[in-house]
């Protein structure tokens, strides 16, 4: 099988791990995602993963709270998700390291770029947890940042819809799907796919993004094989 990419960065939202419940972690979903990641590894791909935390806590939910504290809680939520995914990956035989942008060294290695790259080269999956380690950022931005740092060839942005639409397809039956888009279109049209900081970082560093539906089994592999699924974003 010939692949279009060698090193990829998979971005999973926290919601992706929650399944139908919409909150917390559904371990059946974790296992299914882990199996799909294993398929990538079995085919020789190097896989970095950034997991969100929205299934547990989002900083902006902390109304009336100090925003920085609320964001610290969000970053800790990403750690919980990262450990859950690590467990599912290791259960299906994928050696996995969690690297944290916040220091929690009893449970995860500190994030060091060269360490991350070494783990990838040795065939380990690497989960980047705690986002960027800074409040006022998102895990989409963390995905763009880590992708740039590890020189990933693409960001695989897993969603609950099958690509980018001109308006919310859940609410608008006439929403139109884009097969291809430029970063600048996302910014100009204010399309709700990634926040503007993350989109700009991808644009400035020329990192392509594939937005696809994670709920369809086998889609992660299809995305890296270069099958035309979802929406492809570049300059």
Nearest CB to ligand UDP, comparing residues 82 and 88: 82
CA distance 6 to 46: 6
Strands (E), the chain: 7-12, 46-51, 96-100, 109-110, 125-129, 154-159, 164-165, 177-178, 180-182, 209-213, 231-234
Residue 215 or residue 227: which is nearer to ligand UDP going by CB? 215
Can residue 230 be called a binding residue for ligand UDP (CB under 6 A)?
A: no
Q: Judged by CB under 6 A, which stretch of 113-121, 138-146, 176-184, 198-206 contacts ligand UDP?
A: 138-146
d(C-alpha 98, C-alpha 85), whole Å: 9
Among 6, 31, 35, 134, binds ligand UDP (CB under 6 A): 134
x/- contact string, 14-43, with ligand UDP (CB under 6 A)? xx----------------------------
**Shorter beta-carbon distance to ligand UDP: residue 4 or 113:** 113
Name the minimum Å distance from CB 105 to ligand UDP. Answer: 19
Which is nearer to ligand UDP, 3 or 134 (by Cβ)? 134
Total binding residues toward ligand UDP, as defined by CB under 6 A: 23
Q: Is 213 in the site for ligand UDP (CB under 6 A)?
A: no
Instruction: Give pairs for 34-37: CB < 8 Å, separation 24+.
Output: 34/85, 34/88, 34/89, 34/91, 34/92, 34/94, 35/92, 36/217, 36/218, 36/219, 36/220, 36/221, 37/10, 37/89, 37/94, 37/125, 37/220
Cβ contact 144:137 at 8 Å: no
Binding mask 139-178 for ligand UDP (x = CB under 6 A): xxxx------------------------------------
What x-and-dash track marks residues 44-83 binding ligand UDP by CB under 6 A?
--------xxx---xx-----------x--xx-xx-----
**Which residues lie below 8 Å from residue 201, measured CB to CB, with a gap of 6+?**
141, 144, 145, 148, 207
Query: What are the Cα distances from residue 42, in Å, to 68, 94, 147?
Result: 40, 9, 21
**Min dist. Cβ of residue 192 to ligand UDP (A):** 12
In the complex, the residues that contact ligand UDP under the rule CB under 6 A are 13-15, 52-54, 58-59, 71, 74-75, 77-78, 131-132, 134-135, 137-142
């Amino acid at each position: 099988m010939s692949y279009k990419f060698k090193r990829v960065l998979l971005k999973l939202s926290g919601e992706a791990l929650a399944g139908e419940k919409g909150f917390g972690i559904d371990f059946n979903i974790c296992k299914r995602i882990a199996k799909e990641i294993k398929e990538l590894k079995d085919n020789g791909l190097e896989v970095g993963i950034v997991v969100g935390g929205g299934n547990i806590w989002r900083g902006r939910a902390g109304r009336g709270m100090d925003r920085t504290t609320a964001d610290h809680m969000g970053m800790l939520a990403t750690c919980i998700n990262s450990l859950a995914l690590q467990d599912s990956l290791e259960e299906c035989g994928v050696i996995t390291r969690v690297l944290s942008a916040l220091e929690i060294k009893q449970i995860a290695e500190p994030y060091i770029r060269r360490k991350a790259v070494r783990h990838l080269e040795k065939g380990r999956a690497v989960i980047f947890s705690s986002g960027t380690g800074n409040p006022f950022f998102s895990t989409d931005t963390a995905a763009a940042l880590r992708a740039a740092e590890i020189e990933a060839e693409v960001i695989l942005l897993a969603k609950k819809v099958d690509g980018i639409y001109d308006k919310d397809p859940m609410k608008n039956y006439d929403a139109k799907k884009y097969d291809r888009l430029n970063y600048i279109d996302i910014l100009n049209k204010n399309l709700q796919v990634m926040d503007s900081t993350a989109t700009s970082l991808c644009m400035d560093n020329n990192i392509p993004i594939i937005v696809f539906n994670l709920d369809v089994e086998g889609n992660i592999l299809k995305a890296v094989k270069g099958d035309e699924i979802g929406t492809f974003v570049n300059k």
